[in-house]
Structure 1
Amino acid sequence: MEEKVLNLLGLAKRAGKLTTGEELVVKSIQNGKAKLVFVANDASENLIKKIADKTDYYKIRMTDIFSSYELSNAIGEPRKVIAVTEKGFAKKMGELMSK
């Protein structure tokens, strides 16, 4: 399951359907563009809280099941926060994580 989600993240990256980096992800959450947000489970407590507060307020699903290494490896660049901005990718990843 996790491997499939990470593969989909890489695919979404190549399709240009991701926003990465703290500031850009926060903006995409506020703009309503983010459909699903990944936060590394080894990110700082402040970062996790900030993203959790934003996603709660804007009613966007957030998950922290992956480490920064796994997330970075999946998209090919070092990142701790990733927002999926395309509904189809977000839906499929959500279904896989619910199993």
Structure 2
Amino acid sequence: MSGSYLNLLGLAVRAGKCTLGEESIVRDIQKRKAKVVLLANDTGKQTKKKLTDKCSFYEVPCYVVDDRVTLSQAIGKAGRVAIAVLDQGFAKKLQSLLDESTRG
């Protein structure tokens, strides 16, 4: 994975455009506030299933990215396995960076 999406993610969190925590993310997906969801690749099975199912039902793009340590370091908060981006601009840019890195 490229580090550039991590920088953008850190910026989005500092700008207050993200939701952290499983229950808050689920709520934002249901309210259609979440524009994209990022999951750590070492997320527990139940959490991963719950969030991917919600994302597919509500048609929110969902990406499995780096591990929880990398994700947590990028946003400056420990032990985070999932992040929902609420801002359309940040979400579009993140998606293009993530699509680029999976293709390339």
The aligned length equals 99
Query: Counterparts in 2 of 1:28-39, with a 5 A limit?
Result: 28-39=28-39
Question: Is 2:88 aligned against 1:87?
Answer: yes
* C-alpha separation in 1, matches of 2:89 and 2:16: 13
Across the aligned residues of Structure 1 and Structure 2, the Cα RMSD in angstroms comes to: 0.9
Equivalent position SS for 1:56: helix
Give the equivalent residue in structure 2 for 1:16.
Answer: 16
Equivalent position SS for 2:34: coil
Q: Which whole-Å deviations, capped at 9, do the CAs of 1:55-90 have from their partners, x for residues lacking one?
A: 000000001121111110111002111000000000
Give the equivalent residue in structure 2 for 1:53.
Answer: 53
* C-alpha separation in 2, matches of 1:71 and 1:36: 15
Q: CA deviation at 1:2?
A: 2.1
Q: CA deviation at 1:43?
A: 1.0
TM-score by length of 2: 0.92
Equivalent position SS for 1:63: strand
- Range moving further from structure 2, 83-92 or 62-71: 62-71
Q: Write the letter of the residue equivalent to 2:56.
A: D
* C-alpha separation in 2, matches of 1:51 and 1:62: 8
> Identity over aligned residues, as a percent?
46
* C-alpha separation in 1, matches of 2:11 and 2:65: 19
Structure 1 stretches lacking a partner, 5+ long: none
